[in-house]
């Protein structure tokens, strides 16, 4: 007997039926906000890098804060405490508009607030998390260096403890740091003796400076910069007491990568929908372009990759809430979903022909953004090596 259920191409595996009512409400409210508040201004923000202006950036953070989504997966300290799937749905809706907006959101939520929540003292959590969650404070996460990207073990930033003043002195450089030029505080990772330690450094600390990285061709709706640390002295109360090894930054990076894996699929969904509308509306040789076999094949391929990516994100999210996920699962998601989303955006750009390169159609902007997202927080090849090690038991990198 045939099924009476109608297939919905916009939710091929009916993930909506798997969500809790709270998750649906969260998704719908964030989607409404993004479409009414972010979509109308994204072209202007991308053209002019408007979020690089302190006033515009702070306004965006306060908007996110008023919506209650900053650090929304964290418990306590004014945070919403939603599950991992709920957090992923938020990232998906923001990145449906733009990856730069989502990067702005996820750095604050996962990398900054997540680090303080997991590795900070009670005093640090109480001082910083409520204000970060409201968007009154902006944070950044300083790990990458000019000569240490994927090779984090060779970071050159150093922290030296001065027992006479119970303080640390930090020297070094960080680069490609999202939010850095507008951040009120930075999570800085440095080597201290044989350990990697994390520090909360406030913007007005003497010796701390940041500059904007200009000329980006992607993520232009978010601001990226470099950080210089010249004999920056901070009291021991600014050190994260539980962040004393490489496991600390990698733990929060894994959570951020999980959110990215949801987010890029939002961008891919936009590109599929835009290409579909364009092909249905554009008539050539007496019929819509969508009536031809090759466009329909491309649509089928795009939909398949998006749907498989979404159901994978859902499964790992449910596991994550019970601490049953592994870093390798996250590597599969980040590697697969980012590369597939980029391929989908490129295909959609091609399907729009000459109009595909106009920012008014949005697709080329998504292509440029996804080129960046496919690289940061672990390149496709680095995640392949992580998986290769898990498969063979042999580590192919130092």
Catalytic center residues: 377
Which residues on neighbouring strands pair with residue 362, listed in sequence order? Answer: none
Question: Phi/psi of residue 380, each to 5°?
Answer: -55, -40
Q: CA-CA distance, 306 to 340, in Å (whole number)?
A: 8
User: Which DSSP letter does residue 189 get?
Assistant: E
Q: CA-CA distance, 136 to 143, in Å (whole number)?
A: 23
Which residues on neighbouring strands pair with residue 172, listed in sequence order? Answer: 229
Locus of tokens 């730069």? 100
Structural contact between residues 392 and 385, judged by C-beta atoms closer than 8 angstroms: no
Please give the full DSSP string across 210-238, using - where no structure is assigned. EEE----SS-TTS-EEEEEEEEEEEEGGG
Strand segments (E) across 108-154: 139-142
User: Up-side HSE of residue 185: CA atoms within 13 Å toward CB?
Assistant: 24
Question: Phi/psi of residue 397, each to 5°?
Answer: -135, 160
Of the candidates 66, 95, 88, the one whose C-alpha atom is nearest the C-alpha of residue 78 is 66
18: left (phi over 0), alpha (psi -120 to 50) or beta: alpha
Q: CA-CA distance, 137 to 153, in Å (whole number)?
A: 30
Q: CA-CA distance, 183 to 175, in Å (whole number)?
A: 14
Give the Å distances, CA to CA, from 330 to 31, 77, 206, 314. 25, 27, 38, 12
Q: CA-CA distance, 14 to 65, in Å (whole number)?
A: 30
- Give the tokens for residue 134: 């409201």
């Amino acid at each position: 007997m045939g099924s009476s259920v109608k297939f919905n191409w916009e939710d091929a595996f009916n993930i909506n039926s798997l969500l809790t009512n709270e998750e649906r409400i969260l998704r719908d409210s964030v989607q409404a906000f993004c479409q009414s508040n972010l979509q109308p201004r994204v072209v202007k923000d991308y053209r002019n890098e408007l979020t690089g202006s302190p006033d515009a950036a702070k306004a965006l953070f306060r908007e996110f804060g008023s919506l209650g989504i900053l650090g929304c997966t964290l418990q306590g300290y004014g945070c919403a405490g939603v599950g991992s799937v709920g957090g992923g749905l938020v990232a998906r809706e923001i990145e449906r508009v733009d990856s730069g907006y989502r990067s702005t959101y996820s750095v604050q939520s996962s990398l900054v607030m997540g680090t303080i929540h997991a590795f900070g003292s009670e005093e640090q959590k109480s001082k910083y998390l409520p204000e970060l969650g409201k968007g009154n404070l902006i944070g950044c996460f300083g790990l990458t260096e000019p000569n240490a990207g994927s090779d984090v073990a060779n970071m050159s930033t150093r922290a030296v403890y001065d027992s006479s003043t119970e303080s640390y002195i930090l020297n070094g450089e960080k680069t490609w740091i999202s939010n850095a030029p507008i951040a009120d505080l930075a999570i800085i990772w440095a080597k201290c003796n044989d350990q990697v330690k994390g520090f909360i450094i406030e913007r007005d600390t003497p010796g701390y400076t940041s500059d904007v990285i200009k000329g980006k061709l992607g993520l232009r709706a978010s601001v990226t910069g470099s950080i210089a640390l010249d004999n920056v002295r901070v009291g021991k109360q600014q050190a994260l007491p539980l962040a004393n090894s490489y496991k600390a930054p990698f733990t929060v990076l894994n959570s951020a990568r999980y959110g990215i894996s949801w987010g890029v699929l939002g961008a891919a969904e936009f590109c599929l929908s835009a290409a579909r509308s364009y092909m249905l509306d554009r008539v050539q040789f007496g019929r819509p372009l969508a009536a031809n076999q090759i466009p329909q094949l491309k649509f089928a391929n795009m939909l398949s990759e998006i749907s498989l990516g979404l159901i994978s994100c859902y499964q790992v999210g449910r596991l994550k809430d019970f601490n049953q996920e592994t870093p390798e699962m996250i590597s599969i998601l980040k590697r697969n979903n980012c590369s597939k989303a980029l391929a989908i955006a490129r295909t959609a750009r091609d399907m729009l022909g000459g109009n595909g390169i106009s920012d008014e159609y949005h697709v080329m902007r998504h292509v440029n953004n996804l080129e960046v997202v496919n690289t940061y927080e672990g390149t496709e090849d680095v995640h392949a090596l992580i998986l290769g090690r898990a498969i063979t038991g042999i580590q192919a990198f130092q």
